[in-house]
Structure 1
Amino acid sequence: MAVVKSKLLKQLSDNYPNFLKKDLEKFTNIILSEIKRSLKRGDRVELRGFGVFSTNTQKARISRNPKTGEKVNTPEKKTIHFKMSKDLFKKINNNEE
């Protein structure tokens, strides 16, 4: 099951009924946009107890189209790398909540 933003907001509103849904949505949007902005700048984002997001740069290269076998130039691009924290690793592997 994937975690989608609407389900996350529903869970937050169920756990914190004294907050308005629109405020929780605004809060969630601010957090996600700040993570995106930091990654775009090339900064590292660390969420203690959860993990670290960082960007890697893939160099430009010549790759092949698997269907036709022709050579294709692939430009340089950034990818996102995630490394989970030890706490999250333990929770996942020990089935802790």
Structure 2
Amino acid sequence: MNKSELVKMLAENHEIPAEESSVIVNLFFDSVRDALLQGDRVEIRGFGSFKVKGYRGYKGRNPKTGDNVEVPPKRLPVFRAGKELKEIINP
């Protein structure tokens, strides 16, 4: 399912205009993004949690050329599925 399919499903299931459904979906994703940018953890009970994890820099190697490469530190978003979601997927 992609974002436009989610907008369509929300509009159909709750009998609201597609434009209003789009605003709701965008507001949700914007809120999650903003919380992560502020360093907060986002937890949706029964579904899972999102957080930003920091990784240290390291020395890597370019597999094509064999040259050593300095990989800078980075921060990446991480999702962890909740217990209920795991149980639904693996009964």
> TM-score normalized by structure 2?
0.93
Residue in structure 1 matched with residue 11 of structure 2 by the alignment = 13
SS in 2 for 1:66: coil
Q: State the shift of 1:13 in Å.
A: 1.4
Instruction: Could you tell me which runs of 5 or more consecutive residues in structure 1 were left unpaired when the two chains were aligned.
Output: none
AA paired with 2:35?
Answer: S
Q: State the shift of 1:40 in Å.
A: 1.3
1:4-39 deviation per Cα after TM superposition (whole angstroms, max 9, x unaligned): 10111111112111x121111011101101111111
User: In the aligned structure 1, how far is the partner of 2:57 from the partner of 2:87?
Assistant: 37
1:38-65 deviation per Cα after TM superposition (whole angstroms, max 9, x unaligned): 1111110001110010111011111111
Aligned length: 91
Residue in structure 1 matched with residue 54 of structure 2 by the alignment = 57
Residue in structure 1 matched with residue 71 of structure 2 by the alignment = 74
1:61-80 deviation per Cα after TM superposition (whole angstroms, max 9, x unaligned): 11111111101111111011
Q: State the shift of 1:83 in Å.
A: 1.1
Q: 2:8 touches 2:21 (CA, 8 Å); kept in 1?
A: no
Segments ≥4 residues shifted beyond 6 Å: none
> TM-score normalized by structure 1?
0.88
Percentage identity across paired residues of the two chains: 35
AA paired with 1:31?
Answer: F
Indicate whether 1:45 and 2:46 are aligned.
no
User: In the aligned structure 2, how far is the partner of 1:90 from the partner of 1:64?
Assistant: 40
